[in-house]
Amino acid sequence: MKNPDVIILGAGAAGLMCAIEAGKRGRRVLVLDHANKVGKKILMSGGGRCNFTNYDIEPHHYLSNNPHFCKSALKRYSSTDFIALVRQHQIPYHEKSHGQLFCDNKSVDIVNLLLAECEQAKVMLRINTAISEIKHHDVKGYEVTLANKERLFCQSLVIATGGLSIPTMGATPFGYQIASQFGLSVIPTRAGLVPFTLQPDDKERFAELSGIALSCEVEAAKQSFKLNMLFTHRGLSGPAMLQISSYWQAGKPLTIDLDADEQWSAQLLDYKKTSPRLHLKNCLEKFLPKKVIQAFVATELLDTEMHRLSDKKLQDIIHLFRHWQIKPNGTEGYRTAEVTLGGVDTHHLSSQTMEVKTQPGLFFVGEVMDVSGWLGGYNFQWAWSSGWAAGQVV
């Protein structure tokens, strides 16, 4: 396809959805990607089962400097719409927790769905294709020059190149560079939905806890999540930590409650009356792993009988677990981040069509924009919704 109507840069979730919708309208669509296969991030997502959407898609699950921007697309193409497509292709799926929907089998089911839809819509795909230059001409529209010097022209150009997360999957800043080329501002980017690393002293203190998971409530920047956390050899991970990482500010502490449901802290006080001869460690071990207890409470206290501990001392011990403050050293960065925060400033774009307001025919969809969702299928839904919205008009 030498001169298609639409060229889409990026064969990920948003790019393919946009291609499908444009192709359905009879547009001649060409999708280009520098990777060696389509949908690489889809394939590795959700532990290989792709958390493709969430039942509860609401705007407050998204972070953006333009918080109202995502509302239109999410409303017009909702999770219900994508679920209907999954059912149409007879892909078995299940709800894991908190409305998160996963494939029963493998993520490739979603990629195959998209490829089947692309084929039906007569979308052309070219992988292993690097781009060297993009220009705009008043008459010819957009000129895309490939690394092999081949020149392609199109009326509509869609940037679906994603963010910076997981560079081993081929992530690059190319989309941001295109935005800057056409005078669009880019909100500073950083890793989101990413594990924390610890300060050297804390890393040594908690080294023995690697692999232990606990339920907790974690808070930072007036946002909190009540989910599981996981100690790792690098620091803190698990759903609670990934979620709060998108709100955490460098240099600030996290506040963690290891008894958020108050399942044991009140009982600990009762043991002083009901089992006064029990050692503190024996009481705590009914509720928490032994290694966790040893990392928080001094050995001499753990070996103390309950009747020898004042109520205030017991309250102080409970406070250690329920108001644990720890200042991360940082995060693991883009290497393991599930999403990139920041991106192309959406104030430049139409929330209805994803088109650049000052540059007709140029569109941005998916993660390259300054719209980032929570863990749990929200980022895939944004890819489907934004890609669908652009696909109605490109």
| Per-residue pLDDT tens over the stretch 343-394 | 999 999 999 999 999 999 999 999 999 999 999 999 999 999 999 999 999 9
As a whole number of angstroms, the distance between CA 123 and CA 26 comes to 10
Taking residues 161-173, report their average pLDDT: 93
As a whole number of angstroms, the distance between CA 367 and CA 62 comes to 12
Assess whether pLDDT exceeds 80 at residue 9.
yes
pLDDT tens by residue, 198-230: 999 999 999 999 999 999 999 999 999 999 999
290, 311 in Cβ contact below 8 A?
A: no
Which residue shows structure tokens 């009988």? Answer: 305
pLDDT tens by residue, 76-101: 999 999 999 999 999 999 999 999 99
Assess whether pLDDT exceeds 70 at residue 137.
yes
**pLDDT, mean over the chain:** 96
Nearest Cα neighbor of 62 from 387, 367, 289 is: 367
DSSP for 288-348, written as a single string: S-HHHHHHHS-HHHHTSBGGGS-HHHHHHHHHHHHSEEE---EE-GGGT-SEEEEEE-GGG
330, 322 in Cβ contact below 8 A?
A: no
Backbone φ, ψ for residue 303 (5° rounding): -90, 5
The SS3 assignment for 364 reads strand
Q: What is the pLDDT of residue 301?
A: 96
Residues 6+ apart with CB under 8 A from 267: 287
As a whole number of angstroms, the distance between CA 284 and CA 294 comes to 10
Say what angle helices 378-391 and 79-88 make with each other, to 10 degrees.
90
Q: How far apart are the first and last CA of the chain?
A: 17
What is the number of helices (H) and of strands (E) in the chain?
A: 14, 22
* Residue 269 binned pLDDT confidence (cut-offs 50, 70, 90): confident
pLDDT tens by residue, 30-48: 999 999 999 999 999 999 9
Residues 6+ apart with CB under 8 A from 278: 271, 305, 306
As a whole number of angstroms, the distance between CA 394 and CA 31 comes to 13
Taken in order of first residue, the domains within the chain and their CATH numbers are 6-186+340-391 (3.50.50.60), 195-331 (2.40.30.10)
